[in-house]
Amino acid sequence: MSKTDRSFKRVVLKLSGEALRESGSQDNISPEIVERIACEIKAAHSTGMEIAIVVGGGNFWRGASASARGMDRATADYVGMLATVMNALAVQSALEAEGVPCIVQSAIEMKNVAEPFIRRKASRQLKEGRVVVFAAGTGSPFFSTDTTAALRASEMGADAILKATMVDGVYDADPKKNPEAKRFNKVSFQTCIVEQLKVMDSTAFTLCMDNDIPIIVFDLNVHGNITKAIVGQDIGTIVSKDSDEV
């Protein structure tokens, strides 16, 4: 399979914690939004796609922000990891309500609510048709959930990372500030690095580049886009080693 096509068998879907929160609401998690995401994942899962999910915790907590306000950075990051577990359990509940078999694996052991992360077991569960939600980040401070997605995708042998964002792809400038910003259909890792395009943090980017794992960046807010991205339809921007800028 060419790394610039979209014939995926196994993918890692990266969801931000903010994606689970309704704009302007005081609720950290919107059951309606989580249900909508679960329905879209169900549609893709029904095609036989193997789906893993990494979810952030930013709707509850951001370790870097807490550290900037004086909290010990490692402690702040551990709090953020626990926030991702809450989100993972919410996603699991919504998927199971839709009849999709799902398991949560946590990088921090908490046996009453989640299985511990075991690479070979997670891979087997994906092959058996379960959706696997990876929680608690990497289990170590100083790493983002973007890096978790890149690491788990590498460990699982995923064909791609699908990054759900608030914009419809990768631009050469901030489209919210510059109406003339150009959106790429395809762009190389090298271009993203040189031009400092905001796709993932540098550690995550390096993992994806070293392991030749393309990243699909797409708009989460458009209903149906999660299903389209997972099944390989041509939406958003594909970032890969061999992409010519288009």
Binding site, annotated residues? 14-17, 57-58, 62, 77, 138-145, 165, 171, 174
- Please give the Cα distance from 57 to 145 (Å, whole number): 8
**Long-range contacts of the stretch 179-185 (C-beta < 8 A, 24+):** 183/237, 184/237, 184/245, 184/246, 185/237, 185/238, 185/246
Residue ranges for the binding site for UMP? Answer: 57, 77, 138-145
Residue ranges for the binding site for ATP? Answer: 14-17, 58, 62, 165, 171, 174
